[in-house]
Structure 1
Amino acid sequence: MQVMFSQLRTLRLLQATTRRFLSAQPSVATSLTEARNPSLLRNAAIIAHVDHGKSTLCDKILRDCSVEVSEDRMMDSGDLERERGITITSKVTTVEYKDYLLNIVDSPGHSDFGGEVERILGMVDSAVLLVDATEGPMAQTKFVLSKALALNLKPIVVLNKIDRPSARPEAVESDLFDLFASLDASEEQLDFTTVYASAKEGWASMDPNSGRDMGMIPLLEKIVDLVPCPKVSLDEPFSFIITMLSRDPFLGRIATGRVCSGIATVGDPVHVVSRDGVRRKNAKITKIMASRGLKRQDIPVASAGDITANAADCNNLSIPTIKPLWAPAIDPPTVSITFNVNDSPLSGKEGEVLTTQKLADWLYAEAENNVSIAVEKDAESDGLQVKGRGELQLGILVETLRREGAELALSPPKILTKLDNEGNLVEPVEELHIEVDDDHTGAIIEKLSARQANLIDMKPVLGDRTKLSFLCPSRGLLGYRPIFIQDTRGTGIMNRIFAEWAPRKATQSSVSTRKGVLVSMASGMTAGHALAALEARGVLFVGPREPVYTGMIIGEHNRDMDIDVNPVKAKQLTNFRTQSKDENVRLAPHRQYSLETAISYVSEAELVEVTPKSVRMRKQILDPGLRARKLKK
């Protein structure tokens, strides 16, 4: 009986296995049916210099593909992006045009977020290079174009803002051809197609003077005709290259990228392999999503050539290792800031004081999602050294953290150096492009020459303005932006971009980036009477009835030396009354610093205190006696 029962159980198991196998066959067939035909896919990225109209162009493309757009710059969905008017992170949107599925990637234009551009170019088949028809190619135009040409992409050139009276399409096209040639573009890449457009008015045309009533259709036609379809196969094993990572409180880690081969459905086992071929983790796909218009929707199949976002559940599946997929290398960071726990007397008043471990957990998680930053333990303190592309990028990182209620202290930015293949110390050198009024060119050249900048080009532009181009070490540009704004009365335009690693010069001219500072020697609330007496000493950073503490920087001194002052000293009360004694104190408006300008302003042995409500500057050593003794050493 036991043998018969065993045989019966074996028979039932075989029948159940057969039923599962047969039921799985229609699923496979269904997956193949639902998979996208790669020949009907087009993957393109929109790349450009900052403020040349990428996000606006994306909005008009969405509108002409029957996607409801409620307001301008819908692709810039983050609060910081809308407040600052810039794109910070790359975003993917997918639209349907005729029988084609167009995956459009909107990328940042600021040089500090160049890592976002580098990583998304690896998952597209072409790029739409957007150039202002008046300004022409700028610093970031050269950077993004060089990255696209290095990946053998043939860009489609769009001259935007062609409707402006100052537009000069012929001259800009000539400048673009020279730029392509200087970047060693191939003959095929030099034969680029030009589309004329006004993203603001919502039209594109092949003729700068006509055809303005067809919307974005001419540009969509060129994307369909000139962007090659993905060269992939649905029959090969599933492979997926990850270019962007994000977190969801319910789904966990979400990986966005391009399917390089095969198809995948929910429940399929996968594993993650690093660039060097090391297996990181095994997982199972739990959700497959894709951007359709302005929303991320669930799709049944991730098929070769498409750009999808996949959520996975990590487990201990046993899967054979495969070779890693090729991915473009990301340029290394050039500047670093040390993040410390806030230990000022006002800590905990406005937000949450993070412990070093909690701060480290947040920064390491952010570094996993942002490929252009790196986090390391600081050898000189208990803080964490965060490396990035520029002060703006790191400032955005800090702003995100403070909006979550955190308090922290930041060191002044430092320029990173490295050893080349021959063992020589090299430092980053940046290409600086400045457009100013003719009256300000002398002051700009004088200040930058003192910072070891070399003038490489100077030419007039529209109006009484001049365009200057420099090559300057990155360390010479630390703290220069506030000086530039002051010298140009806020009318100058400055763009900078990494150029090369060059041998570090043994000596550098002594450059005073600022004067001395006024340091509070008492704690309490500032008094108008005391501040009025200090106005003759310099420019104040605080107003009346603001909390200060010993060691806090409250102003800039008129001389090149720091002095300790008392901003909380109250007015002496007497029984004697006169008209002059009782008059109200009138203070000049105090200077307020944003987060980025404060980071650029502080010097060595100083910190920036960041809380959810305030940005303060302070000395690293608060006690004036201890600070004086350390200076003597």
Structure 2
Amino acid sequence: MSANLRNICIIAHVDHGKTTLVDFLLKQAGTFQEHQAVDDRVMDSMDLERERGITILAKNTSVVVGNTKINIIDTPGHADFGGEVERIMGMSQGAILLVDAAEGPLPQTRFVLEKAIKQGLKIILCINKVDRPEVREGDRINEVINGAFDLFCDLGATEDQTDFPILYACGRQGWCTMDPAEIPALLEGKKGDLKPLFDLVLDYVNPPAVEDGPFRMLISNLDYSEWVGQMGVGRVYSGSVKKGDRLISKSVDASGKPVNRVFTVSKVLSFKGLRQVEVDELEAGDIGLLAGLDEVHIGDTIVANETQEALPRIIVESPTLGMIFSINTGPLSGQEGEAVQSRKLRDRLLRFCRYNVALRFEETAQPDQFRILGRGELQFAILIEQMRREGLEFMIGRPEVLFQKDENGQVLEPVERLVLDLPEQFSGEVTEMLQTRKGIMSSYENIGHGRIRLKFEIPTRGILGINSRFKTATRGEGIMSSEFIGYVPFKGELVHRINGALISDRDGETIPYALESIQERGQLFVDPGVKVYEGMIIGECAKDQDLNVNACREKKLTNHRASGSDGLVMLQGVRKMSLEQCIEWIEDDEWIEATPESIRLRKKILPQNLRNMKR
């Protein structure tokens, strides 16, 4: 059976075309009927994935080519979701590494390639987006191939791995070729397809290795069905399983002690295209789903008897950031969503951490506050947005960097490799901004068309809150990506935010007349007619200290006749703060209040007479 199986994953940096390529793999393999309407990026099934245009969760699908079933795993490309990539690598024997023909290898390319090389996967290099105008000039494709080869060598690839096959593709047009001389004809309209990729997977990637012995399966992902409940997704290492079999889940409890749970398989499913179909039997080498487990965690091993050893648990790199989640204690609590109690908030956060092994849960000294440890601000923003869409109200604090200590007691902090693509005229301003945050430039590269690529080594603290400022400095034309590279001695204090906050000094509703005078003191975050309360932040102060203001003050009526322009209020513009911008902006003494309808900023201490206004 395993000889007619191939398990591959598609890995790349964000926006290099993984999900689009999978769309055409499914279409050309006959997964959809001719008359069937199919959306673009069909693998991005979450609303948040479609809205943001990124892959957040790793997903399984399959195609059948001849007599061979190819299980395909689409993985996220953003560094914050690297844990998704790490935990599914063990299900694959091969990987298709997509690299943008114009951008070349970027930080996440390095990250995912390193994981694939360590797993010993057979890697196919696919140079995607060869239709981009900047690629057709000069020898850019060969430069990208040489950069990829250098990356293989730098990451310690074996001689067999560095002898990788190369494909040239245009994912959005659904064709690829192994002959670069064919590219001009294909770009001019010659009919092409993805058959060279299918053939290469069948010839180059090995069938999954299987072990002798009873059934054994490693859970690498989780799924849920309203009909059968919790399901574990993984690859079968040995034996086979049928509906009704009694199996044992080898897991660990919260303290890390081994726990065995006996259960009966209620359903056995396999992937067929985008569907999960019930099958009579799941055999060694295949990837499938088991239902009937009341409690299952990623990394558990499912075995047929207690004498079998558990497979090594899935281990991902340690988190570098932490964020406090708290129940909503604001005056407007419960008016726009469900003001959850601490128990329900704790249960929800624990459930999310079970599905995502890159996140960790910690208790705090406060019974109504919990700390989540993760990789980056975007990962936290996705968790917050998912909880908001479930109708929950809660508060979150500023992300905090997780420090370590060496054997001598010296404090160490995480450092990242930051890669920036931007127009050359903005390089001076961007370089100065990063150097004030302890960044050290390691590379300056001219990539053509008036654009440059800068590489910095910078503490994780220096990246927090920098994305929006970088976008502003480059007029929205810059691209930023980063990769965690290790820990270094603490580099000293950093200034996070120079400006103070404009804080409402009373409860009420914002009045245009009051906001007109307040806007002279700084930048407003709220429109007229918005409910505010004492301690709620309504804007950014122009000075370096907090300022209490009355946003509810109405104009006093008099007996004097007003002029024609009197009463006409002109607001200069309100900065609408997104969730990510709020996470970047807040300080340690501030909360973000998240509800299904609103994102508010507030001080942790609401009464103004108890707060220190100096920064």
Question: TM > 0.5 between the two?
Answer: yes
Aligned-residue offset at 1:319: 4.6
**Aligned partner (choices 209, 212, 232) of residue 255 of structure 1:** 232
Mapped contact 2:246–2:304 kept (Cα < 8 A): no
Mapped contact 2:421–2:478 kept (Cα < 8 A): yes
- Residues 1:247 and 1:514: Cα distance change in structure 2 (over 3 Å): farther
**Aligned partner (choices 559, 562, 571) of residue 555 of structure 2:** 571
Mapped contact 1:122–1:327 kept (Cα < 8 A): no
Partner SS state of residue 265, structure 2: strand
Of 185-194 and 326-335, deviating more is 326-335
What residue in structure 1 maps to residue 90 of structure 2?
A: 122
**Aligned partner (choices 198, 202, 205) of residue 170 of structure 2:** 198
Of 43-52 and 584-593, deviating more is 584-593
What is the rounded CA distance, in whole Å, between the counterparts of 1:203 and 1:249 in structure 2? 38
Could you report, residue by residue, the CA deviation over 1:335-393 in whole angstroms, capped at 9, with x for unpaired residues? 11100000111111110000000000111111111101011111256300011111100
Aligned-residue offset at 1:274: 3.5
What residue in structure 2 maps to residue 278 of structure 1?
A: 258
What residue in structure 2 maps to residue 91 of structure 1?
A: 59
Q: Which amino acid aligns with 1:49?
A: H
Of 583-592 and 93-102, deviating more is 583-592
Mapped contact 1:59–1:72 kept (Cα < 8 A): yes
Q: Which amino acid aligns with 1:64?
A: Q
What residue in structure 2 maps to residue 542 of structure 1?
A: 526
What is the rounded CA distance, in whole Å, between the counterparts of 1:421 and 1:227 in structure 2? 44
What is the rounded CA distance, in whole Å, between the counterparts of 1:325 and 1:44 in structure 2? 21
What residue in structure 2 maps to residue 31 of structure 1?
A: none
Pair 1:269 & 2:241 matched: no
TM-score normalised per structure 2? 0.93
What is the rounded CA distance, in whole Å, between the counterparts of 1:76 and 1:449 in structure 2? 38
Mapped contact 2:504–2:537 kept (Cα < 8 A): yes
What residue in structure 2 maps to residue 34 of structure 1?
A: none
Could you report, residue by residue, the CA deviation over 1:296-354 in whole angstroms, capped at 9, with x for unpaired residues? 11111111000001112459x99524211134421011111100000111111110000
Could you report, residue by residue, the CA deviation over 1:471-519 in whole angstroms, capped at 9, with x for unpaired residues? 11101221111221221121111101111122223x33x4243411101
Mapped contact 2:242–2:281 kept (Cα < 8 A): yes
Q: Which amino acid aligns with 2:216?
A: S
Tell which structure's C-alpha radius of gyration is larger.
1
Aligned-residue offset at 1:422: 5.8
Aligned-residue offset at 1:587: 1.3
Mapped contact 1:427–1:473 kept (Cα < 8 A): yes
What residue in structure 2 maps to residue 612 of structure 1?
A: 596
Q: How does 1:335-374 map to 2 (within 5 A)?
A: 335-374=321-360
- Residues 1:112 and 1:353: Cα distance change in structure 2 (over 3 Å): same
What residue in structure 2 maps to residue 528 of structure 1?
A: 512
**Aligned partner (choices 148, 153, 156) of residue 181 of structure 1:** 153
Mapped contact 1:162–1:208 kept (Cα < 8 A): no
**Aligned partner (choices 153, 157, 160) of residue 121 of structure 2:** 153
Q: Which amino acid aligns with 1:587?
A: L
TM-score normalised per structure 1? 0.90
Pair 1:38 & 2:22 matched: no
Aligned-residue offset at 1:421: 5.6
Q: Which amino acid aligns with 1:440?
A: F
Partner SS state of residue 219, structure 1: helix
What is the rounded CA distance, in whole Å, between the counterparts of 1:132 and 1:549 in structure 2? 49
Of 415-424 and 427-436, deviating more is 415-424
What is the rounded CA distance, in whole Å, between the counterparts of 1:157 and 1:546 in structure 2? 53
What is the rounded CA distance, in whole Å, between the counterparts of 2:610 and 2:410 in structure 1? 38
Q: Which amino acid aligns with 1:257?
A: G
**Aligned partner (choices 215, 237, 259) of residue 193 of structure 2:** 215
What residue in structure 2 maps to residue 139 of structure 1?
A: 107
Mapped contact 1:269–1:285 kept (Cα < 8 A): yes
What is the rounded CA distance, in whole Å, between the counterparts of 1:162 and 1:526 in structure 2? 53
What is the rounded CA distance, in whole Å, between the counterparts of 1:369 and 1:388 in structure 2? 13
Partner SS state of residue 457, structure 1: strand
What residue in structure 1 maps to residue 394 of structure 2?
A: 408
- Percent identity over the alignment? 41
What is the rounded CA distance, in whole Å, between the counterparts of 2:448 and 2:285 in structure 1? 45
Mapped contact 1:528–1:585 kept (Cα < 8 A): yes
Q: Which amino acid aligns with 1:303?
A: E
Q: How does 1:550-589 map to 2 (within 5 A)?
A: 550-580=534-564, 582-589=566-573
What residue in structure 2 maps to residue 308 of structure 1?
A: 288
Mapped contact 2:418–2:455 kept (Cα < 8 A): yes
Mapped contact 2:214–2:304 kept (Cα < 8 A): no
Q: How does 1:368-407 map to 2 (within 5 A)?
A: 368-379=354-365, 382-407=368-393
Q: Which amino acid aligns with 1:538?
A: G
Mapped contact 1:271–1:279 kept (Cα < 8 A): no
Could you report, residue by residue, the CA deviation over 1:74-118 in whole angstroms, capped at 9, with x for unpaired residues? 000110000000000000001100110000000000000000000
Gaps of 5+ in 2: 296-302
What residue in structure 2 maps to residue 51 of structure 1?
A: 15
What is the rounded CA distance, in whole Å, between the counterparts of 2:409 and 2:7 in structure 1? 42
What is the rounded CA distance, in whole Å, between the counterparts of 1:277 and 1:218 in structure 2? 48
Gaps of 5+ in 1: 1-36
- Residues 1:92 and 1:450: Cα distance change in structure 2 (over 3 Å): same
Pair 1:599 & 2:583 matched: yes
Partner SS state of residue 108, structure 2: helix
Mapped contact 1:256–1:307 kept (Cα < 8 A): yes
What residue in structure 1 maps to residue 300 of structure 2?
A: none
What residue in structure 2 maps to residue 10 of structure 1?
A: none
Pair 1:226 & 2:212 matched: no
Q: Which amino acid aligns with 1:286?
A: S
Partner SS state of residue 182, structure 2: coil
Aligned-residue offset at 1:583: 4.1
Pair 1:237 & 2:214 matched: yes
What residue in structure 2 maps to residue 428 of structure 1?
A: 414
Q: Which amino acid aligns with 1:472?
A: I
Could you report, residue by residue, the CA deviation over 1:384-433 in whole angstroms, capped at 9, with x for unpaired residues? 00111111001100100010000001011001122346654322111100
What is the rounded CA distance, in whole Å, between the counterparts of 1:445 and 1:381 in structure 2? 43
What residue in structure 2 maps to residue 3 of structure 1?
A: none
Aligned-residue offset at 1:580: 4.3
Partner SS state of residue 166, structure 1: helix
Pair 1:65 & 2:37 matched: no
**Aligned partner (choices 470, 476, 499) of residue 484 of structure 1:** 470
Q: Which amino acid aligns with 1:559?
A: K
- Residues 1:229 and 1:423: Cα distance change in structure 2 (over 3 Å): farther
**Aligned partner (choices 239, 264, 267) of residue 287 of structure 1:** 267
Mapped contact 2:325–2:395 kept (Cα < 8 A): yes
Mapped contact 1:526–1:546 kept (Cα < 8 A): yes
- Residues 1:606 and 1:220: Cα distance change in structure 2 (over 3 Å): same
- Residues 1:449 and 1:492: Cα distance change in structure 2 (over 3 Å): same
Partner SS state of residue 558, structure 2: coil
Partner SS state of residue 181, structure 2: coil
What is the rounded CA distance, in whole Å, between the counterparts of 1:375 and 1:328 in structure 2? 17
Could you report, residue by residue, the CA deviation over 1:556-580 in whole angstroms, capped at 9, with x for unpaired residues? 1111111100111011112322324
Q: CA RMSD in A?
A: 1.9
Of 460-469 and 110-119, deviating more is 460-469
Aligned-residue offset at 1:600: 1.3
What residue in structure 2 maps to residue 467 of structure 1?
A: 453
